[in-house]
Amino acid sequence: MIKRKAHQILLELARGFYVVAVTGPRQSGKTTLVRDVFSDKQYVSLEDPDERDFAEQDPRRFLQRFPQGAILDEVQRCPELFSYLQSRVDADRQSGQFILTGSQQFGLLKEITQSLAGRVGLVELLPFTLQELQEADCAPRTVDQLLFQGLYPPVYDRKLQPAIWYKSYVQTYVERDVRLITNIKDLSTFQRFIRMCAARVGQLLNLSNLANECGITHNTAKSWISILESSYLVFLLKPHYKNFNKRLVKTPKLYFHDTGLAAWLLNIHDEAQLSIHPARGPLFENWVVSEYLKKRFNQGQNSNLYFWRDNTGNEVDIIIDQGDKLIPIEVKSGQTLSRDSYKGLFKWLKLAGDDAGPPILIYGGDRGYDRAGITVMPWSNKTGNPIPVTA
């Protein structure tokens, strides 16, 4: 088993909360992780029709089967259970009693907010980080291999071909999970919508443009983006609010949680095709942003990531807001850096002044060094450390 960075935060939360909940996309390793961390607890999946029927028909007696608590997998499938869980944990007042997992963010969080507020420690588990794979000695050897394969556990644990696995993943998601979240009648149009989103990785989200290309209304496009977010397929990176006396872009940027899935949606069939594909740069940027997001989630923290762009085109790909300092990060997919590669950071540093923290540039090459106060980091950071995250 590949050890996950979220292992430690789960133990910490179990010492401080009655309930620990792990949410994230399907096949991100939630069940494997919680069964490893809490191996002493009984495991029950509410995907099992018999178990789900028992929990729905007699929730009190269902919970009585677990005097020492349990792992309840895909618990959002049985919303009736949450009120009874509240009564149970309030009566027992035992830390780390129940461990919940769920794949649908909004479904699980809605029930937690309504019934278990203040009693639950929450972790969002995304696919592997590069560091997790490096420590297990099974990491991709090249940038193109990394972007094409993505970082979903089954691609590595089961050694499946990425194209085969992602095809099955999308079909399962569309045919099953979408119907659980909302009533989408035209699945072919929804599939086209997902592919159009993949074609816009790293771009400002233009819902009107998306809607027009898919032949749907603006409100439908907005709703479908929310569905993709709730299922942990995409996320939106918001612009940082501090303007430094400049007019700012206020539209978020669109990213996927996994580049392998985005590459498959773009009909990229192998690493060689990806190496010359126009989406290679945006996919590399997508991967770097997602690595920082995973770092925060694996620590049990919310995202503190933004981007910065003014209306004249000056931009910094990532801003880490530490409260007292803003860490600017520029991303370049090429193996060679030119003088122009640093221009965005230099402009932003001049505007930010004392608000700026140490600047970082991450690129597709293999050598790390410092240039004019900017830390230049290779994509794999072969010094043995993960991509630097200072927050």
In a domain, 302, yes or no: yes
Higher pLDDT, 58 or 389: 58
- CB under 8 Å to 90, separation ≥6 — which residues? 18, 119
Give me the chain's average pLDDT, please. Answer: 91
pLDDT mean over 8-27: 95
**Of 63-67, 89-93, 323-327, 385-389, where does mean pLDDT reach its minimum?**
385-389
Higher pLDDT, 259 or 249: 259
Residue 170 belongs to domain with CATH number: 1.10.10.10
At residue 11, the pLDDT reads 97
At residue 313, the pLDDT reads 79
pLDDT mean over 152-177: 88
355-380 confidence digits (pLDDT tens): 999 999 999 999 999 998 999 999 99
Rounded CA separation 328/391 (Å): 12
pLDDT mean over 306-333: 93
**Of 34-43, 104-113, 184-193, 292-301, where does mean pLDDT reach its minimum?**
104-113
Share of the chain above pLDDT 90, in %: 78
In terms of domains, do 114 and 173 share one? no
- Pick the most confident of 202-206, 307-311, 369-373: 202-206
At residue 287, the pLDDT reads 98
Does residue 71 surpass a pLDDT of 50? yes
In terms of domains, do 144 and 260 share one? yes
In terms of domains, do 93 and 143 share one? no
At residue 267, the pLDDT reads 97
Query: What string of H, E and C letters represents the secondary structure of the chain?
Result: CCCCCCHHHHHHHHHHCCEEEEECCCCCCHHHHHHHHCCCCEEEECCCHHHHHHHHHCHHHHHHCCCCCEEEECHHHCCCHHHHHHHHHHHHCCCCCEEEEECCHHHHHHHHHHHCCCCEEEEECCCCCHHHHHHCCCCCCCHHHHHHHCCCHHHHHCCCCHHHHHHHHHHHHHHHHHHHHCCCCCHHHHHHHHHHHHCCCCCECCHHHHHHHHCCCHHHHHHHHHHHHHCCCEEEECECCCCCCCCECCCCEEEECCHHHHHHHCCCCCHHHHHCCCCHHHHHHHHHHHHHHHHHHHCCCCCCEEEEEECCCCEEEEEEECCCCEEEEEEECCCCCCHHHHHHHHHHHHHHHHHECCCEEEECCCCCEEECCEEEEECCCCCCCCCCCCC
Does residue 152 surpass a pLDDT of 50? yes
Domain boundary pick from 124, 147, 165: 124
Domain range enclosing 115:
7-124
The residues facing 353 across adjacent strands are: none
Domain boundary pick from 74, 108, 124: 124
At residue 380, the pLDDT reads 92
In a domain, 274, yes or no: yes
In terms of domains, do 136 and 62 share one? no
In a domain, 211, yes or no: yes
78-135 confidence digits (pLDDT tens): 988 999 999 999 999 999 999 999 876 666 777 777 788 889 999 999 999 999 999 9
Domain boundary pick from 109, 124, 139: 124
In a domain, 33, yes or no: yes
pLDDT mean over 315-335: 95
What confidence category does residue 389 fall into, taking pLDDT thresholds of 50, 70 and 90?
Answer: very low
Share of the chain above pLDDT 70, in %: 96
What confidence category does residue 384 fall into, taking pLDDT thresholds of 50, 70 and 90?
Answer: very low
In a domain, 17, yes or no: yes
In a domain, 385, yes or no: no
At residue 240, the pLDDT reads 92
At residue 250, the pLDDT reads 87
Q: How many domains does the chain have?
A: 2
In terms of domains, do 87 and 174 share one? no
In a domain, 387, yes or no: no
In terms of domains, do 92 and 157 share one? no
Does residue 383 surpass a pLDDT of 50? no
Tell me the angle at which helices 218-230 and 105-115 cross, rounded to the nearest 10 degrees: 70
166-181 confidence digits (pLDDT tens): 999 998 887 777 776 7
At residue 105, the pLDDT reads 65
41-58 confidence digits (pLDDT tens): 999 999 999 999 999 999
